[in-house]
Amino acid sequence: MRRGVYCACAVLTALLFSGITADAQPPTKSFRIGWLGSDDVAPKADSATKDFDQGLRDLRYVDGQNITVVYRAAEGKLEKLTELSTDLVKQRVDVIVTSGVPAAFAAKRATSSIPIIVTEFGLDPVKARLVDTLNRPEANVTGLATISEELWPKRLGLLKEIVPTVVRLVVFWNPTNPGNSSCIQEIGVAAPAMGMRMMPIEVSDAKLLDAAFGKIAAEPPDAIAICWDNVSLRLRSRSATSG
């Protein structure tokens, strides 16, 4: 099942179990869905929201017709997420969909009653203390997590096999994203064991990315790793071409 369809199904399930009728036919009442993201691009231009919108359409739910989607994006400024999540609660949305680790925690802090569907969550939700257990998530929080940080030893191992001479490893990470702390820790443990020296560089917006490439231009690294983050994902094409 595509990511967008999964998310859309989760939203409709949340509406159903919150006391709202959501059967196989599009509803006669227009319900409100809040979307909370960390991205530095307009919500409508974001690939995650496009997938979500298409998933809803596949299930015959169309924004502006039988549902209303209220989009809120932090534009890369994660400190805005608290304000934006509080605004969605004030908008009386029926369910909140979050994209990314920071957005998930912001929504959880904002409400304990509105159902929250988590997407693009790149950590173990239990270790990150988003939920108590995986099989019975905490009260109003559920969704889909990509537990990938523990794969860094394998990723670096594959890199070493392909390029055995790798020593200097630059790691782009966003210090304002709590999930990236885990990424840095995993790489920090795995890299030395493989003869690599980790050089972390903070990248939380496009300007810092430009500064980062300027910083390493004088002494290019052997490889670049990028910690999972909504901002870094939006800048991945620039990272590939500039690197």
Question: Encoding tokens for residue 80?
Answer: 């805005």
Which stretch of 1-5, 105-109, 132-136 has the lowest confidence by average pLDDT?
1-5
Q: What percent of the chain has pLDDT over 90?
A: 33
* pLDDT for the residue numbered 164: 95
Query: Is 64's pLDDT higher than 60?
Result: yes
Between CA 197 and CA 146 the distance in angstroms is 27
Please, what is the average pLDDT of the chain?
80
Query: Is 23's pLDDT higher than 50?
Result: no
What pTM was estimated for this model as a whole? 0.69
Which stretch of 48-62, 94-108, 229-243 has the lowest confidence by average pLDDT?
229-243
Query: Is 238's pLDDT higher than 60?
Result: no
**Domain boundaries 3-145, corresponding CATH code:** 3.40.50.2300
* pLDDT for the residue numbered 219: 81
Cα distance between the two ends of the chain? 34
149-242 belongs to which homologous superfamily? Response regulator (3.40.50.2300)
179-215: per-residue pLDDT in tens?
A: 788 889 899 999 999 999 999 988 877 677 778 777 8
Highest mean pLDDT among 41-45, 176-180, 238-242: 176-180
pLDDT, greater one: 236 or 135: 135
The boundaries of every CATH 3.40.50.2300 domain in the chain are 3-145, 149-242
> What separation in angstroms does the CA of 234 have from each of 46, 75, 172, 209, 229?
9, 11, 13, 11, 9
